[in-house]
Amino acid sequence: MSTKNKVALVVGAQGVIGRNLITHLAALGDWDVIGLSRRGGASAGRVRYVEVDLLDRDDCREKLGGLTQVTHLFYAAYQDRPTWAELVPPNLAMLVNVVEAVEPIAPGLRHVSLMQGYKVYGAHLGPFKTPARETDAHHMPPEFNVDQQAFLESRQKGKAWSWSAIRPSVVCGFALGNPMNLAMVIAVYAAISKELGLPLRFPGKPGAYDKLLEMTDAELLAKATLWAATDERCANQAFNINNGDLFRWSELWPKIARFFDLEVAPPLPMSLDVVMADKEPLWKAMQEKHGLERHAYKDVSSWRFGDFVFSWDYDMFADGSKARRFGFHEYVETEAMFLRIFADFRRRGVIP
Per-residue pLDDT of the chain (352 residues; tens, 9 = 90+): 344 689 999 999 999 999 999 999 999 999 999 999 998 888 999 999 999 999 999 999 999 999 999 999 999 999 999 999 999 999 999 999 999 999 999 999 999 999 999 999 999 999 999 999 999 999 999 999 999 999 999 999 999 999 999 999 999 999 988 888 999 999 999 999 999 999 999 999 999 999 999 999 999 999 999 999 999 999 999 999 999 999 999 999 999 999 999 999 999 999 999 999 999 999 999 999 999 999 999 999 999 999 999 999 999 999 999 999 999 999 999 999 999 999 999 999 999 9
The predicted pLDDT at position 1 comes to 37
Which is nearest to 71 in space by CA: 106, 109, 40, 45?
109
Find out whether 52 and 66 touch, Cβ atoms under 8 Å. Answer: no
Instruction: With residue 299 as reference, give the H or E element that holds it.
Output: none
Give the whole-angstrom CA distance, residue 179 versus residue 176.
9
The answer to whether 102 touches 73, Cβ cutoff 8 Å, is yes
The reply to whether the predicted model has a pTM over 0.75 is yes
Per-residue pLDDT at 4: 63
Long-range contact set of residues 62-67: C-beta below 8 Å, sequence gap at least 24: 64/36, 64/98, 64/101, 64/102, 65/101, 65/105, 66/105, 67/9, 67/34, 67/102, 67/105, 67/106
* One-letter amino acid of 75: Y
Please, are residues 273 and 307 in contact by the beta-carbon 8 Å criterion?
Answer: yes
Alpha-carbon gap, residue 224 to 229, rounded angstroms:
9
- Region of 323 on the Ramachandran plot (φ > 0 left; ψ -120 to 50 alpha; else beta): alpha
